Structure 1
């Protein structure tokens, strides 16, 4: 009978020494009480325990693989995983109850996911006007990421006193870094400039931010181009021949001989001042 008990205990001991000891105590108690007929039921429990344990081992291995994959992904986005990796190592090196180990691995995964969910990119914008070329302003847009993670698929639009012709696109602005983009801006409306940004996190979650800036533009009120066809001067009503320099009002588009614009000092149609300084 002792060999029967030892065999069962040995089978369980491969998976859990604590459980094996409990089975031994139960079977020895049954033998001492003469309840031999109950031993087969205990043997059945042993088989059920081993089968369940093997399933739990598979579940634990799967969860550990998933957690390790999550740790790798967290590392890629610059998240510090050392605390969680240490915690996982401690769990796996001291397994007494496999179901408890599964729970602890699940708890670690949940903590990481909650922490990652809080990570956000945060873009700040500023604008520096460098000068004017014809009817466009040469500018630099500074994009700075003060968030926790990189910002992807960034799209910027400038509106207001100056505006972009089309959205400015940046593939990625890494956390803690800045990107400086050269752009040409067109005259718009209003006295302020607003820079709006749309961007994404590593998982595609979308964000928006905006900055309002006020810049004192030294406005000429006009721009100069080469004339391309016969047109009339809005001041003297004379003909302006192709190839001549013409002054075009930035506000209404009225056209002048260059000397006529200087003499008038402003647009005779809309009143916009012409600054020739």
Structure 2
């Protein structure tokens, strides 16, 4: 299975996962043109796509969905509540209702030779989910836009080969930054986003010798930066004596908000 972050950040998100037979996107929060360019960079094209998984209806996850769905009419998988919100979001234009496939959290489904499962996350959206994908005995997950996590979250992120986990903000930068107070509280709430420290702590719960690579994703453009996210997360990992893995045991990469990353093959 190939796994690649095409874009991940507060301004837009799109992740690719594919096998020889199947190619899916998780979210389409950047323009169709940028998605096509990102796919071309890893030797794929829009015509290769077999499905799109949507985590939730916020614009940084669906802004390119309208044009993409009109250009390549492939199934769009999302929960019923998320689909209703997408259909009401007029900025993306018309999306053919027949393309939607209703999924339910904790109920696996198949796309080609890939098995996908959505699981609940805590965020201020209608019915937000993260995704775990398995193919050929390998497993990947994308888990962002979650203000907190618990044992349920951890159980879905165990035994992975590659993961993209949210590392949205540095708490100190957010607290002293220019955002209005209500927005700061929203970001730091249990329905908001994971901080760098929280991301590091989450990784200590899910890292194992099986993990081949980790992306830190959905970084805030105003309240974080790559080197800080990386340093904070790796410090959390290395300070946890119970964690099976040290930060130098595998690649830990900060996903770029504007450009595709090198794909990981697991």
Query: What TM bracket, shorter-length normalisation?
Result: under 0.3
If asked which structure has higher relative contact order (CA below 8 Å, sep 6+), I would say: 2
- Higher share of residues assigned strand: 1
Q: TM-score, normalised by structure 1?
A: 0.20
Q: TM-score, normalised by structure 2?
A: 0.21
